[in-house]
Amino acid sequence: MSRPLEGLRVIEFGTFVSAPYCGKLFAGHGAEVIKVEPPGGDIARAHGPFPRGEPDPEASALFLYLNTGKKSVVLDPREPADRDRLLRLIATADVLVENYRPADLAALGLDYATLAERNPRLVMVSITPFGQQGPYANYLGNNLIAFAMGGQMYITGTFEGGPLKNGGYQADYQGGLNAFSAAMLAVLAAERDGLGQHVDISIQRCMAPILEASIPYYCYLGQWSGIRRGNHMASFIGIYPCADGHIGIHLMPRNWKPFLEVIGRPDLGEDPRFATQADRVAHNDELMAELYAWAATETKHDLYRRAGAGRAPIAFVHTMADLVESPQLNARGFLQHIDHPVAGEAVYPGPPWWMGPGDWDAGRAPLLGEHDAEVLGRLPA
Amino acid sequence: MSQPLQGVRIVDLTMVWAGPMGTRLLGDYGAEVIKVESPRQWDLLRALGLIPRDVPRWYNRSAYFNHNNRNKYAVSLDLAHPLGRETVLQLCAVSDVLVENYRSDVMDNLGLDYETVRSVNPRIIYVSMPGHGKTGPEKDYVAYGSNVEQLAGLVSISGYEDGEPMKTGFSYGDPMAATALVGAVALALRKRRLTGEGCYVELAQRENLTMFVGEHIVGYSLTGELPRPMGNRHPHHAPHNVYRCAGEDRWVAIACETDDQFRALCAVIRRHDLAGDPRFATAAARKANERDLDPEIEAWTLQRGHHEAMHLLQRAGVPAGAVLTTPELVADPHLRATGAWVEHTHPDAGTWEMEAPPWVLPRTPGHIRLHAPGFAEHNDWVFRDLLGLDDARIAALYAAGVAADTPDESLHR
């Protein structure tokens, strides 16, 4: 059968990570996604890693991954003729995904009011660091700034080392995923009511409430202990170096016994210092010393398999090589080999969830302007 | 205007964080969510509220639970009992979506697998949110919160520059699975409109988060090189870091992406000499010499508060952000002005502030219609009004201990 978003036309007027990730999820599920790139292309094309380390706008791993299944057209919205084409293109669309600063988009005459006048069914999705309104709406932002202002950075890393963002472009991905979910809600409403709307995604607002219990405890009880704890929330929730990498344990009270069996230390179960979770908290540093000494003797694959069989929540820190070789991910068909005319074949993860056979088809990323003739050649007046 | 998910009824069999937060988002945008808890195995989040156990109905006062379970109804049913299983199947028969986040074998063992549920309602959308997925050699492995990002490859690329891999300061995979749930359910609802049939959706939490490092997987497969932690730095741009400010443990993030922004930064900190220094003249030069640049910037930030530094830099066109603590997030003038926090009242817990629905859909806005349900708060409504059970049947559920009005408190003492 056809994919769930067949028949939906999406224009992606966005750069780098957040809007492209949102657009990628639309494309993979069957929407026609037309990516509008400026002359020279999305800035992600300038970002590596590149095959053989040689920069090539058609071989950026970042671009290749984030733009699977899309069509590419080149338009310069500062040029009146191109701006007119862009407006005519958006008039044909069900969804517009963009991630420009509100003031910059308005300066191009691409505000929602103007677009909705021509296309009242349009769902416009804007992904910005701070949202469309409010005192910081036009402040400049990016992944690092969102990490700071979204509160996730203050609690990551060690106290001494200072606030730390986690790897890659996580704030931008958060924005892209939030935008996709919100956009899909607006698509359902538009198909029901015949009316679109301007969906406003503030990355800061998406990030701030999800710091585990931090916001609930502070708002309700006035309690806050959000210090950076490095790799250990406690001795029994954290990451330890092992002989050939790093392992992670996350032990709830009921996991204590199965854990000790897996690691071959039933004696710790007899130790009154570690009898209950409260005891383990009270003797945190002593337990941590035991666990550091134990973990150093383990190898990650062997331990992980034993933990799986023994139902103990132990994982290991997967490197990219571990992911590509993962028995689990490969058995499930989660890693797909996709060819590209310039970059060649590479391994791509996906889909993010499974709905049924044929419901996801990533496709490959487009060459810059590859679909100019097909898309722009038959634009309605 | 009615909300996007108006008329969509959801049977919520999830507990703790990822599942409940996801179904709460569905509730925020109009779905009717019915949370099912066993009197013996009820949601752990009710116990993680720091509420003394001698407070009446302490299990209804946990803010952690109440934030993640607003906009829901609650019914108590022990699914391990035949009567409980039968009753939840009756509920599935009149619902649109079922969401569960048990370990991969639990629903099958309860006799509540997809085929069984579909046999009572072919239009149902059945969503499983296991850690590893429902298939594959690791499907029954146990993975909790912080394990997910280790399995997703994220931890291997996180950490201080060339330091050891570093965890995120919270269980990052959970809220990302919650966020993905909404998109997946909406997709399945559209698919149902096209096909007339429901479907099975499987959202493996480690796979959902692995999508967030996809460029590194593609990159590794193209180059054979393993990416390393790079702290707060960027592969191409500099300066790109956090800088200590006046005050205890206060910081500002600064991330220049253009020459213009760097020149503006130099002007704000009155260091025009840096703008003219060949070591910092181009993006490539700044990147190569970023370690020399950082102390020059920090000499200025140390003299400023983190908010002050951010505003002075932003007004000059430099991307900068104060590194906010939780109290500062709640007080943040921008979040407050845009309605990110709202006052909320709960009959057992009282009045406090919580996060508003996160996405602004102006024509069909999210709302908080219902406070988080007390344990079993809506038993009567579900049994009598939704399912049409008679008095004798309801009495039988209570007599068998399948339903109860109060939870077994010994579970989470």
Global confidence as pTM: 0.98
**Is B196 near chain A, with CB under 8 Å?**
no
- Kindly report, residue by residue over B63-78, the tens digit of the pLDDT: 999 999 999 999 999 9
pLDDT at B241: 98
Structure token digits, residue B97: 């979506």
Interface test with B, best of A205, A235, A239, A249 (most B CBs within 10 A): A205
Condensed to tens digits (0 to 9), the pLDDT of residues A165-193 reads 999 999 999 999 999 999 999 999 999 99
What burial letters (b/e) apply to A73-107, b meaning 16+ CB within 10 Å?
bbbbbeeeebbebbbebbbebbbbbbbbbbeebee
Share of chain A above pLDDT 90, in %: 97
Catalytic sites of A, residue numbers = 172
What integer is the mean pLDDT of B8-23? 98
- Tokens 């997910």, residue? B148
Q: Residues B409, B46: contact at Cβ < 8 Å? A: no
**In this complex, is the C-beta atom of B69 within 8 Å of any C-beta atom belonging to chain A?**
no
| High-pLDDT (> 90) share of chain B, % | 98
Cα–Cα distance measured from residue B320 to residue A57, given in angstroms and rounded to the nearest whole number: 29
- Quote the pLDDT of residue A1: 57
Which residues, numbered 133 to 152 in chain B, qualify as contacts with chain A under a Cβ-Cβ cut-off of 8 Å? 133, 135-147, 149-152
Q: What is the pLDDT of residues A189-198, one digit of tens each?
A: 999 999 999 9
Contact B179 A255 (CB under 8 A): no
The average confidence (pLDDT) of chain B is: 97
**Residue A48 pLDDT more than 90?**
no
Report the distance separating Cα A6 and Cα A355, nearest Å: 14
Answer yes or no: do B364 and A354 touch at CB < 8 A. no
Whether ipTM exceeds 0.95: yes
- pLDDT range class, residue A307, cuts 50, 70, 90: very high
Band the pLDDT of A82: cuts 50, 70, 90. very high
pLDDT tens digits for range A236-286: 999 999 999 999 999 999 999 999 999 999 999 999 999 999 999 999 999
Count how many pairs of residues, chain A against chain B, have C-beta atoms within 8 Å: 480
Q: At what angle do helices A18-28 and A170-193 cross, to 10 degrees?
A: 50
* Mean pLDDT of all residues belonging to chain A: 97
Determine the average pLDDT of the residues in A76-95: 97
Instruction: Please judge whether B214 and A191 are an interchain contact, meaning their C-beta atoms are less than 8 angstroms apart.
Output: no
What's the pLDDT tens digit per position in A130-153? 999 999 999 999 999 999 999 999
CA distance to partner chain B, nearest, from residue A168 (Å): 7
Q: Do B147 and A344 touch (CB under 8 A)?
A: no
Burial of B276 (0-12, 13-18, 19+ CB in 10 A): exposed
Element (DSSP H or E) covering residue A240: strand A237-242
What gap in Å lies between CA A65 and CA A348, rounded to an integer? 7
The pLDDT value recorded for residue B1 is 61
**Three-state DSSP class for residue A13:** strand
Which chain A residue is nearest to residue B168, measuring alpha carbons?
Answer: A156
Q: Do B157 and A167 touch (CB under 8 A)?
A: yes
d(CA B261, CA B365): 37
Nearest residue in A to B224, CA atom: A321
Query: Of B242, B219, B231, which Cα lies nearest the Cα of B166?
Result: B231
pLDDT recorded at residue A2:
82
How high is the pLDDT of residue B413? 78
**A317 neighbourhood in chain B, CB within 8 Å:** 150, 155-156, 165
Residues B34-53 have pLDDT tens digits of 999 999 999 999 999 999 99
**Average pLDDT estimate for B258-266:** 98
Reported as a pLDDT band with limits 50, 70 and 90, residue B308 is very high
- DSSP for B358-398? SSB-TTS-----SPPPPTTTTHHIIIIIIT---HHHHHHHH
Does the pLDDT at position A381 exceed 80? no
> What beta strand segments (E) does B18-107 contain?
32-37, 72-76, 97-100
Which of B169, B225, B326 has its CB closest to that of A156?
B169
Nearest-Cα distance to chain B for A235, in Å, is 13
> Nearest Cβ partner of A166 from B64, B154, B203?
B154
Q: What is the per-residue pLDDT across B168-200, written as a single tens digit (0 to 9) for each?
A: 999 999 999 999 999 999 999 999 999 999 999
Q: For the residues B205-232, what does the mean pLDDT come to? A: 97
- CB contact under 8 Å between B169 and A201, yes or no, is no
Rounded Cα distance between A221 and B148, Å, is: 29
Distance from CA of B64 to the nearest CA of A (A): 5
Give the three-state DSSP class for A155.
coil
* Alpha helices (H) in chain A, listed in sequence order: 18-28, 61-66, 80-91, 102-107, 112-118, 143-149, 170-193, 203-207, 214-221, 256-263, 266-270, 277-282, 284-295, 300-309, 320-324, 327-331
Please name the residue of chain B whose CA is at the shortest distance from the CA of residue A308: B141
Question: Which residues of B have a catalytic role annotated?
Answer: 234
